[in-house]
Structure 1
């Protein structure tokens, strides 16, 4: 292929910059609106605080709001990157070690958040963002020594972190970085004390400036069936 032909070929190919600019385009998306008073508190905390901890039972919108909010911040280029992480602790009998690369191994653990982001920006935009490194899934095993800056970091299922793990996570936070920590103490799968429980105690006892949003069963918006079962298990003390 001649040099002129190569130049024409390269000019016809969409550059990484062009792909990213398409991802950055404004889309006609509905605003992220609260479905309950507690969700309204959650959104206000996200808009005003560098760190937010949100807790409560399933179906209250903890993960949905975190993922949608982060996707909007990235889409509007208010942050350069989204980091997603979650402790790889199974919620039941283990299926054994997942095969594949490190990214492939951790991917099943963050499906809920990634599905939320995909719903907000579309499958194509999510694929581009992952390829360009605009969204990165970070396993706890490779987090030590890193610094998160100019980004949003979401720690999902934080009740399954050990104290040493959540300490390591929180000390990775750099400049212009917003942290969203989601968890439900009642659903911890650890035999040891949850690191999230330790962090909550420190915030309350040392009066640290970190808002804590606590949903209750009355804030469940997923479905009536979800609310029924959460209340049933609570009543049964399970």
Structure 2
């Protein structure tokens, strides 16, 4: 008789064990010669050495499946432990599996271009209207890279510029002040990473969410770094952010140049950066359009109505929005080396 310990390192025990421990109970019935005690993410196994080794081998396979698909069923457990390959439906343009095994895919042509641009470049600009999935796909690509152990951390950032509010005048501690600005990033992560695992990642700084001002002075290695709402950066802020890029790191910059909340006299850092970095090797660009909007179908109509209204308004001098051809100044993903 020997005793072995197995630690679930890459999955949420709640998903692995199942509702009311139904998965764990099934596993125990499949190894009747072993005494198996599971608490938290630790499983203690007592029994014959050969049987214990077989158990550990099969549990690793089950955990690997659970990590990839963020779900686990009794049928899958039976297939793996009995040596059968689980039935997996192929999903075109799949990035990762989100919560409950939901496939997260690049649904539109420009979402697919963003995936390709990320694979081929170390820095990618993704611009376009709200609701096109720019940030969601960017975060999915980052989570995939983390799961595949291509990087060691994910860093998500936003400029804390909204509707004229100043952080210093808002109530509460700094975290309380910042969380509302960063909530869209939390929402996307919660669709992709199990709650317990996400909490662990954030407590250990594997996933970091911080306002842009907190990036100063850092060199970001072995990471995917995403700057969201970049149209609201100043020229100095975006230059500072872009120069944080370290070894084995990639950046995705997202924004909508028609939704700038900076003071009227300020220049958008995103607009200027895309002009300055025209033709720079290793930089990709994907421009999303109204047809890429994947929210409620009414959102696309709303965007089109506002565009029609804005086109009839007299253009103010010193406008901070990008010229019509600005977003085409950087290499498209298919042109990138």
TM-score by length of 2: 0.61
SS in 1 for 2:156: strand
Indicate yes or no: 2:260 matched with 1:219: no
C-alpha RMSD over aligned residues: 2.2
Matched residue of 1:187: which SS?
A: coil
Matched, 1:59 2:131: yes
1:127 is the counterpart of 2:199 = yes
1:20: how far off? 4.6
CA contact (8 A) 1:202 1:208 kept: no
Question: Which of 109, 115, 118 lines up with 1:43 in the alignment?
Answer: 115
Partner Cα separation in structure 2 for residue 135 and residue 225 of structure 1 = 33
Unaligned segments of structure 2, at least 5 residues = 13-62, 70-96, 314-337
Does structure 2 conserve the Cα–Cα contact (< 8 Å) formed by 1:61 and 1:221? yes
C-alpha distance in 1 between matches for 2:164 and 2:303: 21
| Counterpart for residue 72 of structure 1 | 144
Q: Measure the CA separation in 1 of the matches of 2:179 and 2:151.
A: 23
* Further displaced range: 44-53 or 105-114: 105-114
Q: What is the rounded CA distance, in whole Å, between the counterparts of 1:44 and 1:98 in structure 2?
A: 43
Residues of 1 paired with 2:107 and 2:183: CA distance? 23
Q: 2:154 aligns with which of 47, 67, 82?
A: 82
Contact 2:159 2:213 in 1 (8 A): no
Paired residue for 1:184?
256
**Whole-Å Cα distance in 1 between the matches of residues 269 and 281 of structure 2?**
16
Question: Which structure shows the bigger proportion of residues in strand conformation?
Answer: 2
Q: 1:161 aligns with which of 233, 237, 241?
A: 233
Q: Choose the corresponding residue for 1:171, options 243, 252, 262.
A: 243
Q: Matched residues in 2 for 1:174 and 1:58: separation?
A: 29
TM norm structure 1:
0.85
- Hey, what's the Cα distance between the residues in 2 that align with 1:117 and 1:98? 26
Matched residue, 1:209: 282
CA distance in structure 2 between the aligned counterparts of 1:189 and 1:135, rounded to whole angstroms:
27
Alignment check: 8 A CA contact 1:67 1:114 kept: no
Aligned pair count reads: 220
Larger RCO (CA within 8 A; separation ≥ 6):
1
Q: CA deviation at 1:84?
A: 0.9
Q: Distance in 2 between matches of 1:66 and 1:132?
A: 22
Question: Which structure's residues are more often helix, by fraction?
Answer: 1
In the alignment, is the contact (CA less than 8 A) between 1:34 and 1:40 conserved in 2? yes
Asked whether 1:97 is paired with 2:138, we answer no
Instruction: Tell me if structure 2 keeps the 8 A contact 1:83–1:135.
Output: yes
Contact kept, 8 Å, 1:107 with 1:137, in 2: the verdict is no
1:108 is the counterpart of 2:180:
yes
Whole-angstrom distance in 2 between the partners of 1:156 and 1:194: 13
Other structure's SS at 2:258 match: helix
